Amino acid sequence: GQQVMQIPQYQHVQEGEDFTTYCNSSTTLSNIQWYKQRPGGHPVFLIQLVKSGEVKKQKRLTFQFGEAKKNSSLHITATQTTDVGTYFCEAVTGGGNKLTFGTGTQLKVEL
């Protein structure tokens, strides 16, 4: 079955440092979504990537989809305390019928 690995599992950074989380699939994906979950909250959709090699930006967040559509990354430039939370990728295959979440990367930002 499809496996989705997300690394790292945890990341502690000082405010102002950069942060990157990676999502790797064993199979080619239709598309991939990224979500953010604040402590005690529910996952909230951030972005969807569909095209091979696609790069999208949201302010300090940069999302990339690999050329082979098997991996993706989320990069945050100059982290702030408001970035604290767990970031999940959601891999979509089978024409949109099969959804698999990565295990998440928990980000802590220290002043």
Interface residues with other proteins (CB under 8 A) are 6, 9, 31, 33, 35, 41-45, 48, 88, 90, 92, 96-97, 99, 101-104
Residue 83 or 90: the one with the smaller Cβ distance to other proteins is 90
Residue 18 or 45: the one with the smaller Cβ distance to other proteins is 45
Least Å distance, CB 45 to other proteins, is 4
3-state class of 107 per DSSP? strand
- The DSSP letter of residue 17 is -
CB-CB neighbours of 29 under 10 Å: 27
Residue 14 or 97: the one with the smaller Cβ distance to other proteins is 97
Least Å distance, CB 109 to other proteins, is 20
Residue 44 or 55: the one with the smaller Cβ distance to other proteins is 44
Compute the distance between CA of residue 101 and CA of residue 82 in angstroms, rounded to an integer: 23
Residue 11: left if φ>0, alpha if ψ -120 to 50, beta else—which one? beta
Compute the distance between CA of residue 76 and CA of residue 58 in angstroms, rounded to an integer: 10
CB-CB neighbours of 7 under 10 Å: 13
Least Å distance, CB 48 to other proteins, is 6
Least Å distance, CB 76 to other proteins, is 19
